[in-house]
Chain A
Amino acid sequence: MNLRPDLEVPRPSRRSLLTGALALGASFALPGCAYIRDDAPTDAPLPPSAKAEIDGDLVYFNWADYLAPSVVKGFQKEYGVEVIESNYDSMEGMYAKLAAGNQYDIVFPIAKWVVKLRQEGKLRSIDPAELENADQVFYSGSYFNDPWYDPGSKVSVPFTVYKTGIGWRTDKVSSMTNSWKDLWNDEARGRIFTLDDQDEALGMAALLLGYDVNTAATSELDEIKDLLLSQKEYLRAYSSDDINNMTSGDAWIHHMWSGDFLYLREALADDPTSFDFQAPDEGVPINSDTYAIPENARHPGTAMLFIDYLLRPENAIENMNYLFYPFPVKDALPAFADLAKSVPACNVEVSDLENENVFRLLATDEVQRRAAVWTEVKAG
């Protein structure tokens, strides 16, 4: 793991590197002919769960800098294994590596990618009975016993949850209204950023218009396109580098992820009170990252132990204090509420999880219709 010496150096948002690095990475990530095929299996039977026992070093595949190094070190020490780290800079990149047959013991897919990987039989089952701390996430009545992306919670364990909202500079802007309309704010004209992310940008406009964040209906997409085009004169840029855009003074209002905002405010800002975050009244997209074990993992037993280790409340709290993203681990929730108490809008409640604003896995024609609109918005 990379060590971060202190919190003074802003790390780019884990997703921000996607924007540039992906670009460079993509050309290497494309697995060539192996990917070009017409017979992708669907709803394959799930490979069985492994036992939680050490069966080798852990080959770990995650976004860069997306777990506290101290926690990873603790695992290595306690179990006497190495954690061999690789990183991806986009879900597409992660998926392409798996599809090309690369072997990893643990990956961290975002909810809708769990749907895809599970459908294609690329993930092993995870039997909660094997995990000592399973009751921290799979307690009675927990949302995660049967999340929309993994019915019956067969192949995934929840890692973090977060929402998308608006961060802004309280010392520059005084006319916020807790609406997505604030991304059209006159005071901040020319200093507003929208996330450079197809789902997030289209989802934001859909919520403002009262549509489903996943809409692929042509007439609704046309309205979304016009709405987003009307925003361009207010925008400085489309960028997912939300943390840096805010710390550098370039952004006064930023469409951003709750965890990134909290990290920015609590760990980076000279004056935290000059930053605030809102979860607009029209509703906010909610998303989950998960732990999953690829079907071809060579050390699935170690991966099970690793997941169990990360579910220990003290480790979840240590990770939260580093990442500022909430972990839905029962005994760690009060600690996160405490971390987010200065900006309650950054907290994620179970009621947030149950809303319908989740980015689902869409059919190809739907994705392409949405992509065409997003292209025309950015190019227009």
Chain B
Amino acid sequence: MTAGQEVAKRPRSAQRTSLWGWLLALPTAWMVVFFVSSMVIIVLLSFGRTTNDGYPAFATSTANYRAIWNEVYLELLLRSLAYAVATVIISALIAYPVAYAIALHGGRYKNVLIAAIVVPFFASYLVRMYAWKALLSDDGLVNSGLRRSGLSDGITFLNTSGAVIAGLVYGFVVFMILPVYASLERLDKSLIEAGKDLYHSPVRTFFSVTLPATRAGLYGGVLLVFLPALGDFVSAQLLGGANTYMMGNLVQQQFTEGQNWPLGSALTVGLMAALTILMVAYLRGTSTRGREI
């Protein structure tokens, strides 16, 4: 379908347009006041300084941006990127089969199953991380079980990179499951039947028909998991070890013990800039590939 056809079909009632205008005004105002203005403050503050009394103050200094070009911070950025990429890959490997099973074999329990996945995410992320600590500690339930069953003398789960990534996956996997589920749900099942007739193999059908047809959902999930995982600090704080500090922890520290809001703001703006570049590149890549089909 071309853009021209789409426009031609849209109803052009002026009344409806103004109603929509009004309905949009409130959320727009909300966004301007609470989202845009806080962004503006962050950007302005990133050129600021801290007064002798420890207050952040606006200024016109580029010192904070010079300060973020630091070897240690770059290392943190790379580590955070690696954690976020690992989180995305593991989330996709978990989310796809789960969403597939529910969408294609859930039958009348579909909504119940989706609710069962979503509801636990209403509980605070923080509380769930503490629960993980209780489960996975050296004398925790899992390790006591392993020891009692004689399988192992105990495994050090906590305070490792693996624990941080696992925490991130647990925290954000639902954002992968939902869009993938939605795209599988919309998928015309007869396509899969046709694919099976054509390719004679469920695996080839999956890679040639199902996966490409649900690519949009998967791409959406990738973004929804990648972005919060990259900025997260809770998982590294609670499940991490001495060598798992992430960008989020760094930013958080500047706003608290570090008493350096301007540097924290510059780091935030720098991270956002890096993410924007990554995202634009990603969206260009995905839309080009999308057109090739």
Contact = CB atoms under 8 A, between A and B. Distances in A.
SS of A interface (majority):
helix
Interface in A232-251: 232, 235-238, 241, 244, 247-250
Contact of A20 (B55, B58, B234, B254): B234
Contacts of B240: 237
B98 interface: no
A185 to B, nearest CB: 15
Contacts of A73: none
A350 interface: no
A98 interface: no
A218 interface: no
Contacts of A24: 124, 126, 234
A237 B242 contact: yes
B6 interface: no
A281 interface: no
B258 A378 contact: no
Interface in A43-80: none
A364 B50 contact: yes
Contacts of B233: 23
Contact of B257 (A35, A36, A120, A198): A198
Report the interface size class on chain B.
35 or more
Contacts of A199: 257
A364 B54 contact: yes
Contacts of B245: 378-379
A371 B260 contact: yes
A42 interface: yes
B192 to A, nearest CB: 43
A380 interface: yes
Interface residues of A, number: 49
A90 interface: yes
A116 B260 CA distance: 17
Interface string A326-369: 00000000000000000000000000000000000001100110
A342 B75 CA distance: 46
A367 B258 contact: yes
A237 B258 contact: no
A33 interface: yes
Interface in A212-255: 232, 235-238, 241, 244, 247-250
A92 B256 contact: yes
A376 interface: yes
A375 B72 CA distance: 9
Interface in B99-147: 124, 126, 129-130, 133-134, 137-140
Nearest to B263: A368
Contacts of B258: 198, 367-368, 371-372, 374-375
A237 B241 contact: yes
Interface string B251-262: 011111111100
A33 B261 CA distance: 12
B13 to A, nearest CB: 42
B45 A250 contact: no
Contacts of A250: 137-139, 158-159
Nearest to B246: A379
B292 interface: no
Interface in B16-61: 38, 41, 45, 48, 50-58
A362 to B, nearest CB: 9
List of 10 A-B pairs having minimum Cβ-Cβ separation, nearest first: A249-B139, A248-B137, A371-B258, A249-B138, A235-B242, A40-B53, A198-B257, A237-B159, A237-B241, A367-B259
Given A20-B238, A23-B234, 4 more contacts: A23-B233, A33-B41, A248-B140, A379-B250
Interface of B: 38, 41, 45, 48, 50-58, 72-73, 75-76, 124, 126, 129-130, 133-134, 137-140, 156, 158-159, 233-234, 237-238, 240-243, 245, 249-250, 252-260
29 contacts: A20-B129, A22-B252, A24-B124, A24-B126, A26-B252, A36-B56, A36-B58, A40-B55, A90-B256, A92-B257, A198-B257, A199-B257, A235-B241, A244-B137, A247-B139, A248-B138, A249-B140, A250-B159, A364-B51, A364-B54, A367-B258, A371-B260, A374-B257, A375-B258, A376-B72, A378-B242, A378-B249, A379-B250, A380-B72
